[in-house]
Amino acid sequence: MSEKVKGIVIRSNDRKEKDKNILLFSLEKGKVWATLKGVRGSGAKMKLAQNLFCFGEFVFEDGKAGKIVTGFDVIESFHEISEDIEKYFEATAVLEILNALEFSSETEVAKTFVLTLKTLKAICFDNNKHLYVLDKFLIELFKLNGFPLYSDKCSVCGSENFERVFIDYATGEIECMACRGFVSEEIPKTAFLALKFLSNTDFDRLNTLKLAENSELVLLKILVKNFESRFDRNLRLIGILS
């Protein structure tokens, strides 16, 4: 019996002489491994389906060694991402984050899928400064999972007037200096402002922002550390943090 899903290729590796295994992040089933038969051969009909970032409609059937892709229609290839090194590293970081996630409900999968599409479109087609979209993706991911990071108030005392801002990685919350915990870390003012602006700006308006120089990278390191604490998964982000 065949199944049809809308999915994004988030990982791939070679299998046998001409086959390819792909990991799809799908709207209907979350993450699913499937095999593309003969796709690395000359004249293969579904060559596009093996590419990272490719978004399309996939049809597969159960085979002896797992699911086999029997049909594919591209919706958006996002091929421009692979033509720009900064876009490529930023987009592969998004895929690495998706690979690290585990989902507990269909609703969570659907919301993350929509967020991923918005993110890839913003990286691919909008004239955004490098890392703005990746920061925004992580900020929205925290919101989606029920622990929004940005707040203009101390999470402990509720004060709105604090000169120095801290993040408690045990709770993933913003604190003032008086309330900071043992594992809290100070957030530089420029990075906190970047967090504020990115939190309050839609994806299609990110290209209007002009953050303080290097604040997006400083903020990314904070967001990654918070991700690793929240999800108990390490991130490498090759080409960005390593």
Give per-residue pLDDT as tens, 132-184. Answer: 999 999 999 999 999 999 999 999 999 998 889 999 999 999 999 999 988 89
212 lies in some domain: yes
Structure tokens at 70: 């029997």
Structure tokens at 128: 């955004």
Residue 136 and residue 99 share a domain: yes
Number of domains in the chain: 2
240 lies in some domain: no
pLDDT at residue 9, rounded to an integer: 98
Residue 203 and residue 94 share a domain: yes
Single out the residue of 211, 67, 202, 88 nearest to residue 140, CA to CA.
Answer: 202
Q: How far is CA 20 from the centre of its chain?
A: 23
Residue where a domain stops, chosen among 77, 106, 141: 77
pLDDT at residue 196, rounded to an integer: 97
Q: What is the pLDDT of residues 58-74, one digit of tens each?
A: 999 998 879 999 999 99
The CA angle 134-92-210, to the nearest 5 degrees, is: 25
The CA angle 75-7-58, to the nearest 5 degrees, is: 75
Average pLDDT for the chain: 95
150 lies in some domain: yes
Range of the domain at 32: 3-77
Residue 94 and residue 192 share a domain: yes
Mean pLDDT of 23-37: 96
Residue 97 is inside which H or E element, if any? helix 85-100
Q: What is the pLDDT of residues 101-114, one digit of tens each?
A: 999 999 999 999 99
Residue 104 and residue 41 share a domain: no
Residue 102 and residue 144 share a domain: yes
Residue 91 and residue 61 share a domain: no
- CATH assignment at residue 144: 1.20.1440.120
Residues with Cβ < 8 Å from 180, sequence gap 6 or more? 166, 168
pLDDT at residue 63, rounded to an integer: 86
Residue 91 and residue 58 share a domain: no
pLDDT at residue 17, rounded to an integer: 82
**Res. 219: pLDDT tops 90:** yes
| Cα-Cα-Cα-Cα dihedral sign, residues 87, 91, 92, 94 | positive
Q: How many CB atoms lie within 10 A of CB 161?
A: 7
- CATH assignment at residue 38: 2.40.50.140
